[in-house]
Amino acid sequence: MQKQESKKQTNTVIKWILATVILVTLIIGGAFISGTFYPNVWTVEKIEAEVHKKELNQVKLLGLREPEFEYTDKTSFLLATSKCVEYLNYTTDRLSRVPTSIIIAMAGVESGWGTSRFANEGNALFGVRTWDLKNVAHMKAKGNPDASWGVKKYKTKCQSVHDMIKILNRHPAYKEFRVEREQQLDDGKWNYRKLMVLMNAWSTNPDYHEIILQAIVDNKLP
């Protein structure tokens, strides 16, 4: 009789231990899934989205505005472009940002460091073309006034930078660039060469990426 009671008690203890183990396993599993102990991708993305939302709200509360884009020489052009990019990055989702050095170098090369006619008369730093001549403000190239396209005009030069970033984020030609950028963001380190090679569609010059990379080096951009 005592043996039977002892056996029952032993079975009860074993069942209790098993139940406890299962319960703890479920709790730990749930914690991992929700990112309590180890932040999974879903949790990280959710946290980043919340942080960016708070940043945007802070921008509105502070009344931050697009910075003035004023310059008189190459040095001040670099500074003005940098301020514009910093402002846009602060108000743009992390995954949609483009390395500041690449944008500054492209703006400089494309506009002759802010001296081109398109830059001075149309605030166009990148020579973005439009074929919608009826609805989009534009300028015609002096050497090709009858072309079916024009170079887009902007209210400010910073808007020109913003448009360039939107093109890289939306146009099918830069899909591979966006994939590589996301990988580099995850790695926490930029590789300008890899990114620029995937942006060659921006120019008909096959050496375009080398020109931009050299501009980054020559101007000691970070």
Q: Is 146 exposed, middle or buried (0-12, 13-18, 19+ CB in 10 A)?
A: exposed
| pLDDT at residue number 6 | 46
Supply 112's token pair.
Answer: 């002759």
Q: What is the CATH number of domain 69-218?
A: 1.10.530.10
Quick: pLDDT tens for 54-111.
655 655 555 568 889 999 999 999 999 999 998 998 888 888 999 999 999 999 999 9
- 190 in the Ramachandran plot: left (φ > 0), alpha (ψ -120 to 50) or beta? beta
CB burial of 31-52 (b: ≥16 within 10 Å; e: otherwise) equals eeeeeeeeeeeeeeeeeeeeeb
How far apart, in Å, do the first and last CA atoms of the chain sit?
83
Residue 204 DSSP class: S
Q: Which two tokens stand for residue 52?
A: 């960016």
Looking at residue 72, its pLDDT comes to: 96
Average pLDDT, the chain: 82
Kind plus residue range of the DSSP H or E element containing 164: helix 157-170
Note if the pTM is more than 0.85: no
Residue 10 pLDDT level (bands cut at 50, 70, 90): very low
Query: 150 with 137: CB under 8 angstroms?
Result: no
Write out the H or E segment, with its range, that includes residue 150.
strand 150-152
Which pair of tokens denotes residue 87? 């402002």
Considering only 37-41, 140-144, 210-214, which range has the smallest mean pLDDT? 37-41
Domain-wise residue ranges, the chain: 2-59, 69-218
